[in-house]
Chain A
Amino acid sequence: MEVKIFINCKMKPEEIRKRIEEADTVIQNLLRENKISKLSEIERIKYLNFYKKQANLSLIAADLLYNISTEKLSKEFHKLEQNYECYLWVINSSYYSMFYAVHALLAYKNTRILEKQGIHKITAHALVYYCLKNDFIAKELYEQFVESQKEAAELFNLEEFQKRAAELASKYFFEADKRTKFTYEIGEEAKKQNALTSLQRAKEFLNEIEKIIEK
């Protein structure tokens, strides 16, 4: 099944301008509060390698989960029922791979976000502030990240997810109304297609980021 992700940027110039203005305000505030740090050369290498590794590990996990959800032999090997699927986690792991890839890119640009509250939104702003507004990355790349973040946020409520997971392994991991959208309203084939799109998008995204980092 062929899925092509990188298409022309759909975001209008005024939308991009608005996001740059928003990112300027948020990031400059965080800089004033010392919640974003500049990295020394040793730290830069350390964090770059750490986030790159995490991005790759998350993507491997996403691919394995997709394989387990779609391959009969894989299910047999893991002694799972034939109707077992975990497409939701394919989307989540794919998003996290992109999230870590962005942090690797920020480390490459000598930057690390220290603020933990609202980290997913800040990450998107930092991507705009440090990489998009000076044309260091293509607009399409930013758009792919935002798209993936939106998808994962709809399914998991990312900030809530992190907060609650830290408190306890709650049975209310993600909001029920958002969960139902994926688990009940969408058919098997559509879920599979969504998961494949997320996975392929994350693969292309990480490859693009690694191309920049390893230039």
Chain B
Amino acid sequence: MANKTQLKILSYLIDNKEKLLGIRELAKEISTAYYLVQRNIHQLKEKNIIQLQKAGKTHIITLSKEANSYDLIEAEAFKRELFFKKYPEIKVILKKIIKQAGSCFFVMLVFGSYTKNPRKDSDLDLLILVPDEKYSNPINNAISSVARTSPIEIHETILTEESFLSLSRKKELNVASESLNNHIIIYGSENFYKLQDEA
């Protein structure tokens, strides 16, 4: 079980895979004391969750390829809690969708502007992965119904597992690659990580 500093470190690394930061810069980015970050970085390295690569005088921190998905899933849950704390109005909307859609989908995540810095009129971008095409309609209906009572515009993308995998293998920027890089997993973290491994 990771502590709060470790969860903050992992959440940051999940969302900023392309950034190459040392301990000092990372501490600044996550607004945490240097000594706390340093101590926890070493603990995470010992568990093989992150790796340190020497670059000049600093050590660049990245997620380890051998990182156990369970460690990262815990960080995803931490990200989700922070997200809901920041945007309680979105929690209300998403809870309604999940309730109405039942078991039509197996992954739901928020991507796009709400994971970064949304404007006041930003849409809520949702990616929903369904096991089969036949589930698209019921989930679409559930979202349309909730959208009628939502003060925020909802923009949903519904994909089957197969089309998500095929999109994520393409080089050009698309909804799958964008969601892999920046997301808040609302539902189905384990399924999403399983797909990520296959992507």
Contact = CB atoms under 8 A, between A and B. Distances in A.
Interface of A: 2, 4, 56, 59-60, 63-64, 97, 200, 203-204, 206-208, 210-211, 214-215
B119 to A, nearest CB: 10
Contacts of A210: 92
A132 to B, nearest CB: 20
B121 interface: yes
Interface stretch (B75-83, B124-132, B142-150): B142-150
Interface of B: 88-89, 91-93, 95, 120-121, 145, 148-151
B22 to A, nearest CB: 40
Question: What 6 pairs across the A-B complex have the smallest Cβ distances?
Answer: A63-B148, A203-B151, A204-B151, A59-B149, A210-B92, A60-B148
Contact of B89 (A4, A97, A207): A207
B88 A211 contact: yes
A211 B95 CA distance: 11
Contacts of A64: 148
A119 B79 CA distance: 44
A56 B149 contact: yes
**Which of A2, A56, A200: most chain B Cβ within 10 A?**
A56
Contact of B149 (A4, A63, A215): A63
Given A203-B149, A214-B92, 8 more contacts: A2-B121, A60-B145, A204-B151, A206-B149, A207-B149, A207-B151, A211-B89, A214-B91
